[in-house]
Amino acid sequence: MAGELAGKIAIVTGGANGIGAATAELFVEEGARVLIADLDAERGKALADRLGAAAQFRCTDVGDRSDVQGLVDEAIGTFGDLDIMFNNAGFSGHFHNRYLNDPLEDFDRVLQVNLAGVMYGSQIAARHMVKKRSGSIINTSSIAAISPGYAVLTYRAAKAGVLNFTKSLAIDLGEYMVRVNGIAPGHIPTGMNPFFEKGLAPERQARLDKLMGETMQFNQPIKRAGSPRDVAQMAMFLGSDRSTYVTGQVIAVDGGVTAGDPINLNGMCAEARRRFLEEEA
């Protein structure tokens, strides 16, 4: 399948780590030239160096509109065009077991980066894309937007905003042949760990992460951890000419966890029944 993105110019925000880094790597493998944008200059530069002439890095805060304008200008100035804008940078903010205990200290920043950042990137990229009547904007939402639920409520609200914005913008830009889609990753072990507990010794944090991973997988039809590459494959499809009739969609890449009952009541009942029968035997 090599060459799916041959000749395309892409920006990947949050491209220094995790899902963004896996996407930058896959995009280059498939023939694109990529401008990697991130606040993490060390890892972003290292990745661009490793990917060679097809990749460059620009230190960018997606929550700062003028930074994002500079980013898009640089892609067009350096590579001559912009075909794919992957607005992927994000972070979950602090985990609080109850919203009642959430001091909302990171409220502004979570909304600014996760929601405003996507809106800036989409608008600035679209202003270029509408002129040439083609382009693909891809926004990272989350299953936290699809399934309302527990903890990180500011993040959920921001990602739900991304989901609605993505669909609305697709309707707005359809007549210009600019496509706008989203990806809702499930639980993908990366540097963004909402279960990080301040002050916890590394081995205890690792135990907590393992427990959380197992709990997530219990809820998934596909019983393995997701990987950044799983999400990158969807970004590649949405950025490529394989998806020219797809717009306004937010596609979950989550091992099926949002396919059915989000708290997996049936699964829990089946597990309880299995345990009961084992004990009875």
Ligand X SMILES: NC(=O)c1ccc[n+]([C@@H]2O[C@H](COP(=O)([O-])OP(=O)(O)OC[C@H]3O[C@@H](n4cnc5c(N)ncnc54)[C@H](O)[C@@H]3O)[C@@H](O)[C@H]2O)c1
CB of 279 to ligand X, least distance (A): 35
| Lookup: tokens for 162 | 């991304």
CB of 78 to ligand X, least distance (A): 18
DSSP SS3 for 11: strand
Among candidate residues 213, 215, 241, the one with its CA nearest the CA of residue 225:
213
Told to judge if 99 belongs to the known catalytic residues of this protein, a careful annotator would answer: no
CB of 92 to ligand X, least distance (A): 6
134/193 with CB nearer ligand X: 193
d(CA 49, CA 36): 11
Site residues, ligand X (CB under 6 A): 13-14, 16-20, 38-40, 60-63, 88-91, 113, 140, 142, 185, 187-188, 190-192
Q: Are 73 and 128 in contact (CB under 8 A)?
A: no
Distances (CA, A) of 181 to 67, 237, 258: 23, 11, 18
Please tell me which residue in 120, 150, 155, 245 is annotated as part of the active site. 155
CB of 228 to ligand X, least distance (A): 6
17/240 with CB nearer ligand X: 17
Which helix (H) or strand (E) segment holds residue 70: the answer is helix 65-79
Helix 65-79 vs helix 117-132: angle between axes, to the nearest 10 degrees? Answer: 40
63/239 with CB nearer ligand X: 63
164/266 with CB nearer ligand X: 164
Tell me how far the alpha carbon of residue 134 is from its chain's centroid. 22
Catalytic residues: 155
